[in-house]
Structure 1
Amino acid sequence: MSRFLQRRLLCSRSSSNSNKSSNQQQWKVKQVTRSNFSEALEGIKRHIQDSDFIAVSSQKSGAFSAPWRRVLSFDTPETAYCKAKDAAEKFQLFQFAVCPFTIKNSKVIAFPYNFHLFPRDELNIGMPSYSFSCQTSYLTSMAREGFDFNVCIYDGISYLSRVQESSAKERIGSPISRIHPVKSSLTPSVADSVFLERTRSRVRHWMNACKDPIPMKGTDDALVKSLRKLILGEMYGSRPCMSIDVCSERQVELVLEMLIEFSDLIPLIIPDKSGGPGAVRVVLTSSEEDKKLLEVRELENLEEEENKRVRGFREVIDAISVSQKPIVAYNCLTEFTFIHSKFLASLPQSMSEFMCSLRFAFPCILDVNYLLKEIGPLKKAKNLPAAMSYLKRQFFMPLDMELPHQGFSEQEHERMNHGHNVLRITQSFAKFCLILKVTPGTNQTVNDDLDNSLESYSNNFNPFCTSLQESIDAEGIVWMDNTRKVSTEDLAFLWGFRSGMSAAVLKSIFRGSHDVFSEDFEVRLVDKSCAIVVFWTPGSVEVLLNVLGSGAVGSGGLKEMISEGLRGAGYELYKRICRLGLWESNLAESLDRALEEPIPDVLGANSTKDLSEIYWSNDSVINLEDL
């Protein structure tokens, strides 16, 4: 090859690479850590309120612990939920990107934020997490992208879920709580009377000392000041205060009743480590106006600040929930099991309960993975690159992404910029709106007149359940019928075969070895230990399992495999191990455990009936880099 051609080739490659990265260079995502969280919180709340949609995307410490434990195309919604639930409970969130955006014709105005998170135990109560799992491939990928684990651990924003926050308040109480005195019906005992008189005398002496004028300067000035400081005690802001130690709820009642005599005093309850009352802090106000200022404004502000510290990043999740705006995400089942687990409450046992609980917080959720499959011809696309190529050729979609300046510092420009996935989701969703002729209004909520065509795509968490259409040939793209409806009763799991055997080898051994394999069937490896067989003739699975149980087969490869330990089971056993969480490293080990050591299925009787049909598909999930 001549040097001229080599030069042209290199220039062409560098040009394509620069075009691919040019958008990312323009996409500057606001990076938020604990140090600038308060400032960013005010900004994102304002942008959420002014937006049409909110895109979300997260970076996790892992998603599955074994290949068969990821959501697969033969999973029913219930088994898929069991897998997503297991991952959400084991792994953690390291980054959470939020992008409020509006769509005006062919222009998208977006405000992306990327929050760095870490489940730090701020209150020393073992929440949100004592420990969590990590998947090495995920950490390696994050390290390649320049993720700073030191920033995550030392400056990541912590959080508590709604349930955890309620539990924390019950256990430790509010650091300072205002309690209105209630007249006790109990007759004071001798010990109560002694405690009450001592406390009343102490409060009176303290108030007199606070109100006495400062003595004239003299030789004993330093001594007087020291004694005065000892008598006055602490300060609550600019106001004098004193603490009264209490040993029981009864003593708290007595102190509060006694303080009614003093109109200038405001009592505050200080809890101890166990959550019980540790002391009553008495604050002296200078006037009636000063008293109202402390009660109405300052204490409420203090309580709100403390609540923000406890909630942490969940303030953002709550702001999204309150807005009731449609949320756009990718692979919603995985994304929102994490969101529910970390920020709302523990995940329910069934998919239907999960969806019901989730809709209370987020009524409208849109999955770009599902939207792609809803574009007519793309339901049967052979692969994603072909689908994206088809979109570019068949649809003219001029789209302008505008990211208003958000006050980035020079350090943020120099640092590796994370959170681009949320912008890819935003951009792809806007394109799908143009293709599907969905024209969202401005600042709409779910309670307003949300476009019916958009609402019909919402809250679909099963990307493999797509309707069927005829195959299409267009523009040189190869289409294939890669999605077929099949009953779970026609699926069988086989294991116990020799290691290293491929699906093609297994299919060739099975074919012709018995009448059950004379009809059309397919074989796919779930992992290295187990294969799944789909029969297109009803009743074949029952015949196969009877053959494996009795060994009533002639000669050939299947008989040899049975003698070597080939085993089989129907789909019900697979659903059972997912529901019970028998998550061994190999699927074969989980199936063996369920067969050899039957475990009572206490959930089976109360769980809702799962769908009996799946869509057998060879589709790959969307790669956001290609959007």
Structure 2
Amino acid sequence: MEVTRKNYKDCLNTVYSAIEEADFLAIDGEFSGISDGPNASALTNGLDTPEERYTKLKKHSMDFLLFQFGLCTFKYDQTKSKYITKTFNFYIFPKPFNRTSPDIKFICQSSSIDFLASQGFDFNKVFCHGIPYLNQEEEAQLREQTEERRNQHANGVGTPSYISPSSSKGPAHIPEEHKDFINRVVEKVEALFANSEKTLDLEPCTGFQRKLIYQTLNWKFPKGLHVETIETEKKERYIQISKVDEEERKRREQQKLEKEQEELNDAVGFSRVIHAISKSGKLVVGHNMLLDVMHTIHQFYCPLPELLHFVMVFSFLFPLRLLDTKLMASTQPFKELITYTSLAELEKQLKESPFKPPQVETAEGFLSYNTAQEQLHEAGYDAYITGLCFISMANYLGSFLTPPKAYISARSKLIEPFFNKLFLMRIIDIPYLNLTGPDLQPKRDHVLYVTFPKEWKTSDLYQLFSAFGNIQVSWIDDTSAFVSLSQTDQVQIGESGLFCHTRQNLFTTCSLLVKYT
């Protein structure tokens, strides 16, 4: 089901119901870019710690926009022995709903946009019809502002329709250059009282002129008028003035407050789906999902904190229920059976023996996907096949039971070892970021930190260390890298032959003394 701003409110209860009845949920995101600075090797150094990797992604990836969110719900039907799926493609864009709501800045990466365009991604649906959203702090601020206006109205300080926060009970100070304009407005209002017309539409004017109109009319005509700013489809603002009695004025003010509340709920927008996922406590499955989780929290919950606090935020938002299928496929007992762990390749391999493709059926009224006709990089489709991969691997674990079981529930203890561990790309000895426990602390006393001239290439390092057999080079920047030796006892030889050194943490830190030619 495709969901945009046009049909979001109508679809919301359907989304809530699908989440509530599901056994587990699969998610995926599409972004406007991945990294705003370093190249891939610098952003994903093979000897990063989990904290270093998280910090890099936080610094270089969070200014991009998650603008398509895929959600696929999976409910197991015992009578049919198959999963019933409901897939949603949400198009998301942070459109401000009024002048006081956040006006978000974001960046795009040309390679990412070009790639999505080549896959047929519809950017018009994002920018023209994307669902808005607010994080919790933004929502709280706007609700507080709305409540303040309500209190002003209730206390008789003024009415939200036409009282400016800076208005007073005395006459407004009108700059000389605006006096003729305001006098003409007052004359039109006096004429309105004298004739049979009910309303008067003023010409569009500046925000400052509107403020002067509100202040002046509040002072000169404290009763009998309802004054409201109207916005046209072309974003032009003009003031509409209506003759009303006190009862009608109060009724209109109440309608305006209710409309404001509805607009605020609309502005919260897609964040309501994230809140529903969080409250459900359901298992949430993703593939290589660290960026998906980071963007979801950053955009729809709160700005990303440091890693320690991120883990605390995560525990509150997704209590103990995330599973990364890329990590699952890279871990025993699957590691020896699965050659490639990219999502498309993983889905294909999990159809073959010793695995079995899951039995699924699309719920009535929802888009049915055919995996033979790949729709990769559509977030809903990627979420769908991520769920299929999880089911195949979970059911395979049932073959180790006595007697074997063909169906393993999303609540089974067999899958608990994979919970809340997010796959870390291209780190040699730490495969995941642990969200609910201590991270792995591998020994790295076979690793040298090497500095060298800027013109050096990887081949220079391999030649320099050629006497030490197999090595791994992990670039840090243009003039430094980590060099992993195959055996720990080689470190001492390397130090005595080429380097002076100091020891820091788990790394052997070295500076090159010889000029390589």
Normalised-by-shorter TM-score class: 0.5 to 0.7
CA separation in 2, counterparts of 1:378 and 1:111? 30
**2:401 maps to 1:430:** no
2:419 to 443, 453, 458: 458
1:347 to 298, 304, 322: 304
CA separation in 2, counterparts of 1:404 and 1:391? 23
Q: Which amino acid aligns with 1:146?
A: G
Q: Which amino acid aligns with 1:123?
A: N
**2:23 maps to 1:52:** yes
The answer to whether the Cα contact below 8 Å between 1:55 and 1:329 also exists between their aligned partners in 2 is yes
**2:126 maps to 1:165:** no
The one-character-per-residue Cα deviations of 1:382-415 (angstroms, maximum 9, x if unpaired) are 544998787555425242222224377xxxxxxx
The equivalent residue for 2:408 is 439
**2:192 maps to 1:227:** no
Instruction: Report the alpha carbon displacement of residue 314 of structure 1 after superposing the two structures with TM.
Output: 1.5
**2:361 maps to 1:402:** yes
The equivalent residue for 1:239 is none
**2:464 maps to 1:509:** yes
Q: Which amino acid aligns with 2:361?
A: E
CA separation in 2, counterparts of 1:402 and 1:522? 49
**2:482 maps to 1:532:** yes
The equivalent residue for 1:43 is 14
**2:98 maps to 1:123:** yes
Instruction: Report the alpha carbon displacement of residue 174 of structure 1 after superposing the two structures with TM.
Output: 6.1
2:50 to 77, 89, 92: 77
Instruction: Report the alpha carbon displacement of residue 162 of structure 1 after superposing the two structures with TM.
Output: 1.4
CA separation in 2, counterparts of 1:69 and 1:282? 67
The answer to whether the Cα contact below 8 Å between 1:128 and 1:159 also exists between their aligned partners in 2 is no
* Aligned CA distance change for structure 1 residues 84 and 542 (closer, same or farther; 3 Å): farther
CA separation in 2, counterparts of 1:58 and 1:383? 21
Q: Which amino acid aligns with 1:440?
A: S
Give the TM-score taking structure 2 as reference length. Answer: 0.66
CA separation in 1, counterparts of 2:253 and 2:98? 26
- Structure 2 segments unaligned to the other structure (5+ residues): 158-167, 172-190, 202-212, 230-242, 368-374, 399-406, 433-439, 502-511
Instruction: Report the alpha carbon displacement of residue 94 of structure 1 after superposing the two structures with TM.
Output: 2.3
Instruction: Report the alpha carbon displacement of residue 506 of structure 1 after superposing the two structures with TM.
Output: 3.0
The equivalent residue for 1:218 is none
Structure 1 stretches of 4+ with a deviation exceeding 6 A read: 192-195, 223-226, 267-270, 385-390
Instruction: Report the alpha carbon displacement of residue 346 of structure 1 after superposing the two structures with TM.
Output: 0.9
Q: Which amino acid aligns with 1:365?
A: L
Instruction: Report the alpha carbon displacement of residue 85 of structure 1 after superposing the two structures with TM.
Output: 1.2
CA separation in 1, counterparts of 2:310 and 2:418? 19
The answer to whether the Cα contact below 8 Å between 2:330 and 2:341 also exists between their aligned partners in 1 is no
Q: Which amino acid aligns with 1:356?
A: M
Q: Which amino acid aligns with 1:78?
A: E
2:125 to 116, 138, 151: 151
SS in 1 for 2:93: coil
* Aligned CA distance change for structure 1 residues 367 and 377 (closer, same or farther; 3 Å): closer
**2:85 maps to 1:110:** yes
CA separation in 1, counterparts of 2:386 and 2:492? 44
The answer to whether the Cα contact below 8 Å between 1:98 and 1:113 also exists between their aligned partners in 2 is yes
Give the TM-score taking structure 1 as reference length. Answer: 0.56
2:294 to 334, 337, 340: 337
**2:329 maps to 1:372:** yes
Instruction: Report the alpha carbon displacement of residue 565 of structure 1 after superposing the two structures with TM.
Output: 7.3
* Aligned CA distance change for structure 1 residues 340 and 159 (closer, same or farther; 3 Å): same
The answer to whether the Cα contact below 8 Å between 1:499 and 1:528 also exists between their aligned partners in 2 is no
The answer to whether the Cα contact below 8 Å between 1:178 and 1:269 also exists between their aligned partners in 2 is no
- Structure 1 segments unaligned to the other structure (5+ residues): 1-29, 185-191, 196-222, 235-243, 253-257, 260-264, 271-280, 409-415, 442-449, 468-483, 552-560, 567-627
Within 5 Å, which residues of 2 pair with 1:478-557? 486-496=442-452, 499=455, 501-503=457-459, 506-512=461-467, 517=468, 522-526=471-475, 529=478, 531-538=481-488
- Give the share of equivalent positions with the same residue, in percent: 22
CA separation in 2, counterparts of 1:338 and 1:162? 14
* Aligned CA distance change for structure 1 residues 454 and 330 (closer, same or farther; 3 Å): same
The equivalent residue for 1:315 is 272
Instruction: Report the alpha carbon displacement of residue 68 of structure 1 after superposing the two structures with TM.
Output: 2.6
* Aligned CA distance change for structure 1 residues 433 and 103 (closer, same or farther; 3 Å): farther
CA separation in 1, counterparts of 2:492 and 2:97? 56
2:2 to 31, 48, 60: 31
Q: Over alpha carbons, which structure has the higher Rg?
A: 1
SS in 2 for 1:327: strand
SS in 2 for 1:177: helix
SS in 2 for 1:345: coil
**2:316 maps to 1:360:** yes
Instruction: Report the alpha carbon displacement of residue 367 of structure 1 after superposing the two structures with TM.
Output: 1.0
Which of the pair is proportionally richer in helix? 1
CA separation in 2, counterparts of 1:174 and 1:532? 56
Q: Which amino acid aligns with 2:311?
A: M
CA separation in 2, counterparts of 1:283 and 1:36? 38
